[in-house]
Amino acid sequence: MPVINAFKSAVNFLSAPQYLVTAMLVLLLVGLRSKLLWSKRGGLFLLVAIGGGMAISYLDPNFNAVASLPDNVPIVGMIFLVGFFFWFAMNQAYENDRRIAAGLPTIEAADSAQKVFSWPDLVYVELICLVVVMAVMIVWSIFLKAPLEEPANPTDSPNPAKAPWYFLGLQEMLVYYDPWLAGVVLPSLIIVGLMAIPYIDTNPKGNGYFTFRERKWEITLFLLGFLVLWCTLIALGTFLRGPNWNFFGPYEFWDVNKLVPLNNINLSEIIWIKMLKRSLPNFWLIREIFGLVIVGFYVAALPLLLSKTLLRRFYEKMGTPRYLIGVSLVLIMISLPIKMYLRWFFNLKYVVNIPEFAFNI
């Protein structure tokens, strides 16, 4: 059927990382502000679009082969659960924002005026949750066997060799950053950054109830990290990365021999060879001076510059230490999509490339 095939090719094309990540960014920046998406109707639309799309996709043998691997089933589950709870949180946030604007108490405030006895109100809810979870676990375990592959063979590396699924976002980062960043420094900063959230965010509003309007910045930034850079990259790494970590569309066969042209180029080459028409200097400091200045500017000068200009309001409200730590962490997080776009648009490989010290950014 030519129509279906054309459709499949279109989807294959559009799910390439550059479009997928862009689509998620747009969904985040525009979607968060669109009231319609978080209504019951919007939720139903999302469910039908994503659920229906997935369900029909299972008819495709190539999609099916990847999405029904036992270890990938939980990730399908994750997509729906995270999607549902995203909608559920935003739905209540918009309802509360409407109430606050109308001078009414929030859903939670209306509820929390009174206290109830933990027995039975709380204990029974927990018991029901417990029974439901147990039932789901048992049914799931009966119908889906835990995978067991060939015995371990250290000489026979599978292709693709993938980390456990919850680390696939980090493995995907390896496309854009070297292991010392993608595998060591950035994960550490994710942990530190998460821990720092309560100490950086000094907005006293929105404590103990769902709201969007009172916490626009915090929510947008957190979801940029959690939904786009963590969950989306996991889904991408699981379903769309095949042999040699090449990109494969959801309906594309995982061909081990797929050839992807590698024409990535370093910033030093762009500047010295293409723009200045010279050969690369031998001494690393001179060769990489532009990249080093750019990186130095980004991590050291930019936060200061922003404190005087664009983010002045935040700087004054937060005070110096909070502001510097918070903005640095956010800038480092945003450097990932920036590096991605530089790769997609300019084939940029490294901003700084000093193989002399295995130091590449």
Residue type, 67: A
> Based on CB atoms, which residue is closest to another protein, 254 or 359?
359
Which segment (264-272, 273-281, 324-332, 352-360) binds another protein by CB under 8 A? 352-360
Give the Cα separation of 200 and 214 in Å (integer): 16
> Based on CB atoms, which residue is closest to another protein, 219 or 330?
219
Give the Cα separation of 341 and 199 in Å (integer): 31
- Tell me if residue 353 falls in helix, strand or coil: strand
> Based on CB atoms, which residue is closest to another protein, 21 or 181?
181
Task: From residue 309, give the alpha-carbon distance in Å to each of 77, 129, 334.
Answer: 44, 50, 19
Which segment (167-175, 302-310, 326-334, 340-348) binds another protein by CB under 8 A? 167-175
- Is 280 one of the binding residues for another protein (CB under 8 A)? no
Which residues inside 302-341 make contact with another protein, applying CB under 8 A? none
Strands 359-360 and 353-354, by their bridges, are antiparallel
> Based on CB atoms, which residue is closest to another protein, 121 or 316?
121
> Based on CB atoms, which residue is closest to another protein, 133 or 285?
133
Which segment (33-41, 206-214, 236-244, 314-322) binds another protein by CB under 8 A? 206-214
> Based on CB atoms, which residue is closest to another protein, 148 or 276?
148
Give the Cα separation of 28 and 152 in Å (integer): 42
> How far does CA 93 lie from the centroid of its chain?
22
- Is 217 one of the binding residues for another protein (CB under 8 A)? no
- Is 102 one of the binding residues for another protein (CB under 8 A)? no
- Is 285 one of the binding residues for another protein (CB under 8 A)? no
Which residues inside 35-94 make contact with another protein, applying CB under 8 A? 71, 74, 77-78, 81-82, 85-86, 88-89, 92-93
Structure-block tokens of residue 270: 């762009």
Cβ distance 223 to 28 under 8 Å? yes
- The minimum distance between CB 356 and another protein, in angstroms, equals 8
Neighbour tally for 342: CB within 10 Å:
16
Phi-psi category of 353—alpha, beta or left, where left has phi over 0 and alpha has psi -120 to 50?
A: beta
260 burial class (0-12, 13-18, 19+ CB within 10 angstroms)?
A: exposed
Binding mask 222-241 for another protein (x = CB under 8 A): x---x---------------
- The minimum distance between CB 54 and another protein, in angstroms, equals 17
Binding mask 122-151 for another protein (x = CB under 8 A): xx-xx--xx--xx--xx-xxx-xxxxxxxx
Structure-block tokens of residue 77: 């589950």
